[in-house]
């Protein structure tokens, strides 16, 4: 708990930052400045680029053979050139998404004691409430609270760890995560085909597969240009599917320029994570991204990552591994390595390059 975490014991008007940014802004309603512990050494508002990530119409995967080929190619091009794309006609009912956002808002609105039941400093804990980065190590703080837990394979043991307050949380989250898992496997099928592997390759490579839900809560921030909700990082899984509450904030690094990814209602944003960069032997790039915060509005996002079983060894797909560009590693060790780096970026992946 907080007492084991000296980096967090930097009270502002007696507020313990380890208990969350929402707790800070609720406890100090007159807060006019970002406390120095959150000030990050960059101009957070500096997202200069104006290009747009590609949008893929996923209905193409259910169309004629020709239409499918075109869509698979579009997904492959988006993964290679951008590492990020938007999807429309993804088949997920709006209500499933909006109920998920509502129940998350209710969760973060609970009293602190209720949320702190899930507080953990173990980066591999199957459920965690926390704030800032995922790591308990000393670092500059980030303007974010989060709830993270495993989803698929949805065993009773996993689901029983999820919050039961709000009382409908488990049902809503399960409905959402089941749909997102199927969607991720569908996209994974297209991704596999686009690199010349068979359609089932990505899904099979996951084994039982690990789905990790990150619910991000970014309260309004008095000086949004001084800090970030999340600093530049890449995701450790294969494919992340992101839903947002309509408040802008996602930025990606494309051709060395930070670009804002604008919110498009009912579309999801998909991105390539480190596991897919490794599996594709570097053809597809896991892209650095970050989240800025808003002065007036609470931003929420739901990021769901899809990676292999924690105990599996990851490396380039065997048909592509003639000239392997990444060393193999046990996925769990990779996750621990990545979460230990407090400045993130893509430095964990660099360590694996041959």
Which positions touch ligand OGA (CB under 6 A)?
214, 216, 230, 235, 242, 249-250, 289, 291, 301, 303
Contacted entry of ligand OGA, Ni ion, none for residue 250, CB cut-off 5 to 8 Å set by kind: ligand OGA
CA proximity to 345, closest of 234, 229, 227: 234
**Nearest approach, Cβ of residue 59 and Ni ion (Å):** 27
By beta-carbon proximity to Ni ion, the closer residue of 145 and 235 is 235
Determine the interface stretch with Ni ion among 48-56, 151-159, 234-242, 327-335 (rule: CB under 5 A): 234-242
Contacted entry of ligand OGA, Ni ion, none for residue 227, CB cut-off 5 to 8 Å set by kind: none
DSSP 17: G
**Nearest approach, Cβ of residue 208 and ligand OGA (Å):** 22
Contacted entry of ligand OGA, Ni ion, none for residue 58, CB cut-off 5 to 8 Å set by kind: none
**Nearest approach, Cβ of residue 214 and ligand OGA (Å):** 4
In sequence order, the 6+-apart residues with CB closer than 8 A to the CB of 68 are 60, 61, 62
**Nearest approach, Cβ of residue 210 and ligand OGA (Å):** 15
By beta-carbon proximity to ligand OGA, the closer residue of 92 and 242 is 242
Contacted entry of ligand OGA, Ni ion, none for residue 212, CB cut-off 5 to 8 Å set by kind: none
Q: How far apart are CA 13 and CA 113, in angstroms?
A: 20
Return the H-helix or E-strand segment holding 27. Answer: helix 21-27
In sequence order, the 6+-apart residues with CB closer than 8 A to the CB of 322 are none
Nearest residue (beta carbon) to Ni ion: 235
If binding is defined by CB under 5 A, does position 235 make contact with Ni ion?
yes
**Nearest approach, Cβ of residue 318 and ligand OGA (Å):** 29
Q: Give the C-alpha distances (Å, rounded to integers) separating 338 from 67, 311, 345, 348.
A: 38, 16, 9, 5
**Nearest approach, Cβ of residue 188 and ligand OGA (Å):** 18
User: Which residues sit at the interface with Ni ion, rule CB under 5 A?
Assistant: 235
């Amino acid at each position: 708990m907080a007492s084991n975490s000296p980096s967090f014991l930097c009270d502002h008007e007696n507020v313990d930052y380890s208990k969350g940014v929402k707790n800070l802004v609720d406890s100090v309603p007159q807060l006019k400045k970002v406390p120095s512990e959150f000030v990050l050494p960059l101009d957070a508002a500096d997202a200069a680029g104006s290009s747009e990530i590609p949008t893929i119409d996923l209905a193409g995967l259910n169309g004629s053979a020709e239409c499918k080929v075109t869509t698979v190619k579009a997904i492959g091009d988006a993964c290679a050139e951008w590492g990020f794309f938007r999807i429309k006609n993804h088949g997920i009912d709006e209500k499933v998404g909006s109920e998920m956002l509502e129940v998350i808002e209710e969760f973060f609105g609970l009293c602190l004691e209720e949320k702190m039941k899930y507080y953990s400093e173990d980066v591999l804990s199957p459920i965690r409430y926390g704030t800032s980065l995922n790591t308990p190590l000393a670092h500059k703080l980030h303007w974010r609270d989060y709830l993270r837990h495993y989803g698929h394979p949805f065993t009773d043991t996993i689901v029983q760890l999820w919050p039961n307050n709000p009382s409908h949380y488990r049902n809503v989250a399960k409905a959402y995560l089941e749909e997102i898992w199927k969607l991720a496997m569908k996209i994974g099928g297209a991704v596999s085909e686009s690199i010349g592997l068979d359609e089932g390759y990505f899904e099979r490579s996951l084994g039982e597969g690990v789905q990790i839900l990150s619910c991000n809560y970014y309260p309004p921030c008095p000086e949004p240009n001084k800090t970030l909700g999340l600093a530049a990082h890449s995701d450790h899984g294969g494919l992340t599917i992101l839903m947002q509450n309509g408040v802008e904030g996602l930025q990606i690094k494309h051709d060395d320029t930070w670009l804002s990814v604008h919110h498009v209602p009912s579309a999801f944003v998909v991105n390539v994570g480190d596991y897919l960069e490794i599996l594709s032997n570097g053809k597809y790039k896991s892209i650095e991204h970050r989240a800025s915060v808003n002065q007036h509005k609470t931003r929420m996002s739901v990021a769901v990552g899809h990676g292999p079983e924690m105990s599996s060894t990851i490396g380039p797909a065997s048909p592509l591994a003639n000239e392997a560009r990444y060393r193999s590693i046990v996925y769990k060790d990779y996750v621990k390595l990545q979460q230990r780096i407090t400045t993130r970026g893509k430095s964990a992946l660099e360590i694996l390059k041959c």
